[in-house]
Amino acid sequence: MTGVTRKAPMRIGELAAKAGVSVRALRYYEEQNLLASARSPSGQRQYPHSAVDRVQLIQQLYAAGLPSKTIVEMLPCIETGEVTPVLLDRLSAERDRIDEQIGSLVSTRDRLQRIITTATRAKNVGHRCPGWVGPPPP
Amino acid sequence: MTGVTRKAPMRIGELAAKAGVSVRALRYYEEQNLLASARSPSGQRQYPHSAVDRVQLIQQLYAAGLPSKTIVEMLPCIETGEVTPVLLDRLSAERDRIDEQIGSLVSTRDRLQRIITTATRAKNVGHRCPGWVGPPPP
DNA sequence: CTAGAACCTGACGTTGACGTCAGAGGCAAG
DNA sequence: CTTGCCTCTGACGTCAACGTCAGGTTCTAG
């Protein structure tokens, strides 16, 4: 026996569903060289199972604010585990950038939390919000 | 004596410099009702000193991914300290959203860190991309 | 075989936060 | 007064990550 479990190759709709993105997004990723696909004789895209993970990684990096240009430079080596010193620097730089972003978000969150706490404790609740803060005194 | 130190009112260029944003951005904020200004007789914008802080708050909220529509609903009450129950829910919701965003960023950061660590330890360096010969790892 | 779902390419539309340019005026210095 | 910088309004340009539509092919269920 072959030992190979033959199943129909994953098409774009299935990948989109499994990865939680739109079909359009996947074609866009391919356009940006973020995601490759084999083609059936009739031209339909075919993906390996691992594509689900890859798409989710792409999403994660997008969510971290990386543009596709940066991602496309990082992805190949990330997948193979091979990396150049230059790329390593880049990865570290992005990690640091994300750290800063986290710090900024934390302070924003804290500021929001203080506002909430203060407002709740003071029970400054139930007034009508002023629609607009007027111009400053001369 | 009046006790009032009269100084020339802050104009848009000065505010832009102090807040670290562009003049265009400030006019855009005004367009979006995020930032008010008094006008001189000749129509030039005048800002109070507190505007610097306000602009920085706006920037912080933008950086947290809030769109101006949301900010414009939150800002007046944030400044006055008064808040409606509805707005309080909104603030909490945004705080929670930011928390999720932080969590997502942390996991992305960790994933990047693992990649960096693994690649560094395995010394999988120098195979694919062209580049200079880097310094040795610590 | 046929209907409908899924897929293809190509191209234009959308959104948000500004950038940039044009043409006209205002303001302090010399 | 003139020079030069700052400011004004208005309007079009940009960029990224897709959405959406058109017009055609392919796959699959009955």
SS3 labels along chain B: CCCCCCCCCECHHHHHHHHCCCHHHHHHHHHCCCCCCEECCCCCEEECCCHHHHHHHHHHHHHCCCCHHHHHHHHHHHHHCCECHHHHHHHHHHHHHHHHHHHHHHHHHHHHHHHHHHHHHHCCECCCCCCCCCCCCC
Q: Give the pLDDT score at B124.
A: 54
Helix (H) or strand (E) holding A44: none
Shared domain for A14 and A61, answered yes or no, is yes
Nearest to B95 by CA among A117, A96, A81: A117
Report if residue A15 sits inside a domain: yes
Nucleotide lying nearest to A27, CA to C1' measure: D18
CA of A75 to C1' of D26 (A): 32
Confirm whether A129 is domain-assigned: no
Per-residue confidence (pLDDT) for residue A62, from 0 to 100: 95
Clarify whether residues A56 and A25 are in a common domain: yes
On whether both A22 and A60 belong to a single domain, the answer is yes
- Asked whether B121 and A78 are in contact (CB, 8 A), the reply is no
Taking the C-alpha atoms of residue B135 and residue B103, their distance in angstroms, rounded to an integer, is 34
pLDDT in tens, chain B (138 residues): 544 555 678 999 999 999 999 999 999 999 999 999 999 999 999 999 999 999 999 999 999 999 999 999 888 877 777 788 888 888 999 999 999 999 999 999 999 999 889 888 876 554 444 332 223 333
pLDDT under 70 in chain A at which residues? 1-7, 123-138
**What angle separates helix B23-31 from helix B12-19, to the nearest 10 degrees?**
100
Nearest CA to B34 out of B12, B56, B11 is that of: B56
Closest CA to B76 of B87, B61, B66: B87
Contact partners, residue B69, CB within 8 Å, separation at least 6 = none
Residue-wise pLDDT tens digits, B112-131: 999 889 888 876 554 444 33
Same structural domain for residues A41 and A89?
A: no
In chain B, which among 4-33 make CB contacts under 8 A with chain A?
A: 9, 33
Number of folded domains that form chain A: 2
Contact, A11 vs A52, CB < 8 A? Answer: no
The predicted-structure confidence for B75-85, as pLDDT tens digits, reads as follows 887 777 778 88
| A94 within domain boundaries | yes
pLDDT of residue B42: 96
Cβ separation B76–A107 shorter than 8 A: no
Scan for tokens 């944030």, then name that residue: B78
Q: Strand D: which positions are within 7 A of a protein CB?
A: 6-9, 16-20, 25-28
Task: Name the residue among A53, A111, A135 with its Cα closest to residue B66.
Answer: A111
* Inside any domain, residue B70: no
One domain for residues A16 and A61:
yes
The CATH number of whichever domain residue B28 belongs to comes to 1.10.1660.10
- Answer yes or no: do B96 and B55 share one domain: no
**Is the CB of A86 less than 8 angstroms away from the CB of B118?**
no
Nucleic strand D near CB of residue A33 (< 7 Å): no
B55 with B88, same domain: the answer is no
A82: which DSSP letter? Answer: -
Q: Which of B78, B109, B118 sits opposite A98 (nearest CB)?
A: B109
Residues A50 and A95 in one domain: no
B16 & B50 share domain: yes
Residue A55 lies inside a defined structural domain of this protein: yes
In a domain, B52, yes or no: yes
Domain presence at residue A138: no
Sequence letter at residue B13: G
B87 and B53 belong to one structural domain: no
Residue type, B78: I
* A/B interface, count of CB pairs below 8 Å: 171
Q: Establish if B97 belongs to a structural domain.
A: yes
Q: Which residues of B touch A131 (CB under 8 A)?
A: 76
Indicate whether A87 and A52 sit together in one domain.
no
Which of A73, A87, A129, A132 best probes binding to B when mutated, by most B CB atoms within 10 angstroms? A129
Range of the domain at A14: 9-66
Do B20 and B57 lie in one domain? The reply is yes
pLDDT of amino acid A45? 98
